[in-house]
Amino acid sequence: MANSLKLREFSSNIDNIVISLEKFLVERSSDMLRSYYHYYQEVESEYTDLQLVGDSIENYLLLKNIKTMTKLFLQEADAAVRFKRARDSAGYSGAFTEVLRYNTNIKWAVDRLITKQLEESSMQYLLITERINFIQRLGLFMIILAIIFSILSTIWIGFRLTKPLKKLVEAAETISRGEFQLPPLPVSSNDEIAVVSQAFNEMATSIGKLISEIKNKSDLEKKLQEQEYQNLAMKNTLKEAELHALQSQINPHFLFNTLNAGVQLAIMEDADKTADFIDKVSKLLRYSLRKINTAVTIREETDNLENYFFILKTRYGSDRFDLHIDVDPAIADFQIPLLTIQPIVENALIHGVEQLEEGGEIKVRAYQNDESVIIDVSDNGLGMDSETVKRLQEGRKVSGHTTGIGLWNVRDDLYNSLGL
């Protein structure tokens, strides 16, 4: 777009030369001559600075022709001025005719070059748009696939856990009805449920033998009471097993195991970018779920920032904004509270560069100044309005932070870690 404006300004100055030259030739006005020299100098400096946009051969030839014709145009214009001063009417008339011819050809070439550059820019924009749409569709597909996989995995694990428990309950109900002759429960694993099933089988066998023995004894009632007590103990054991099964379903490692399974699935499908994306998400979640008062190194914080920005650039596109990290190796192992830098970078992203269509840049520098360690976060964005600044200063939450940690909390964590 900027190059097209330069070309139009260049074409306009060519026209101004023709207009000033024509008036000078007709009126012999010194003002018109000064105007002519003014636009002459403008064109002379502009045509050498014209740049090619794109790698089209046609564009290259058009630009080369424009420069060549401009050089000849200026020569003929100078010749017309010289002939006019020499009072050679035939000379300046012929030179001015050549000036008009070159002007027409230059304007045609400039218009053609602008049209070609706009067409190429439109094609590039359409190509980028198609790629972004493809990435969005692919990301949506992978999210849906991951959700389906998680649901199926949850159903399968739940079925695997509840099926033996259901058999245990049915067997316990059978025994509670006084039916002690029942087949042993199948044991096909080595988990806690298998241990309970094996114990139940042994218990059922023992109860059967016990009942057969106490039929001939006078303390039948006492033995029956012991049987009932054992049944109650068994039910308590079953409830504990159910509780352990429920707890195992909500183990935090389940989420990471699911994400790791997604990475393996993507690798098997040769979807390396998807595998890398899921791996970065897993690392980001694992880092964020650490205890908030944990001390980490600056290197760990910046590595986490790299993962975070990889996810953002996959989501928004690689041209919209970029992250530059510069850490002095001498302080890379300096310890700071967990999630100190990311909320500040998120603040720069949300209130700085997020509104930019492209060219956004966030810089993170960590260096030592005398006895102090300086961490500097800057961006080239639009900045925050006064109301947002006021909310941040008052410690009120501002929407958009993935960590849920505001700048006020970061300040408090730093004060606490330094004993201030």
Mean pLDDT by 10 residues, the chain (420 residues): 73 86 84 88 76 72 84 88 86 88 88 79 76 86 90 81 72 73 71 68 74 76 79 55 43 68 79 81 80 83 90 79 90 89 85 81 91 89 74 60 61 71
Query: For the whole model, what pTM was predicted?
Result: 0.39
From residue 114, alpha-carbon distances to 13, 37, 39, 108, 109 in Å are 16, 27, 21, 10, 9
Contact, 84 vs 24, CB < 8 A? yes
* Domain co-membership, 115 together with 216: no
Q: What is the pLDDT of residue 192?
A: 66
Instruction: Provide the 3-class DSSP secondary structure of residue 354.
Output: coil
The CB-based long-range contact list for 61-64 (8 Å cut-off, 24+ gap) reads: 62/109, 62/112, 62/113, 62/116, 63/113
Q: What is the pLDDT of residue 249?
A: 46
How far apart, in whole angstroms, are the C-alpha atoms of residue 126 and residue 132?
Answer: 10
197 lies in some domain: yes
* Domain co-membership, 298 together with 355: yes
* Domain co-membership, 125 together with 179: no
* Domain co-membership, 115 together with 185: no
237 lies in some domain: yes
Domain edge (last residue) among 65, 99, 131: 131
Would you give the end-to-end CA distance of the chain in angstroms? 54
Domain range spanning residue 241?
Answer: 142-249
* Domain co-membership, 109 together with 197: no
Domain edge (last residue) among 131, 159, 192: 131
β 321-327/360-369 pair status = parallel
* Domain co-membership, 41 together with 125: yes
Please provide the size of the chain in residues: 420
Contact, 410 vs 343, CB < 8 A? yes
With 0-12 CB in 10 A as exposed, 13-18 as middle and 19+ as buried, what is 5? exposed
* Domain co-membership, 8 together with 119: yes
Residue 125 maps to which CATH number?
Answer: 1.20.1440.210
Residue 199: its H or E element: helix 192-214
Q: What is the pLDDT of residue 284?
A: 81
266 lies in some domain: no
Measured at the CA of 156, the angle between CA 155 and CA 162, to 5 degrees, comes to 85
89 lies in some domain: yes
* Domain co-membership, 147 together with 127: no
Q: What is the pLDDT of residue 365?
A: 94
Which two structure tokens, joined as six digits, stand for 281?
A: 């998400």
* Domain co-membership, 326 together with 413: yes
Question: How many structural domains does the chain have?
Answer: 3
Q: What is the pLDDT of residue 412?
A: 76
Contact, 10 vs 106, CB < 8 A? no
* Domain co-membership, 121 together with 154: no
351 lies in some domain: yes
Strands (E), 217-347: 295-297, 321-327, 335-337
* Domain co-membership, 13 together with 118: yes
Which two structure tokens, joined as six digits, stand for 189?
A: 């694993």
* Domain co-membership, 191 together with 302: no
How far apart, in whole angstroms, are the C-alpha atoms of residue 8 and residue 107?
Answer: 9
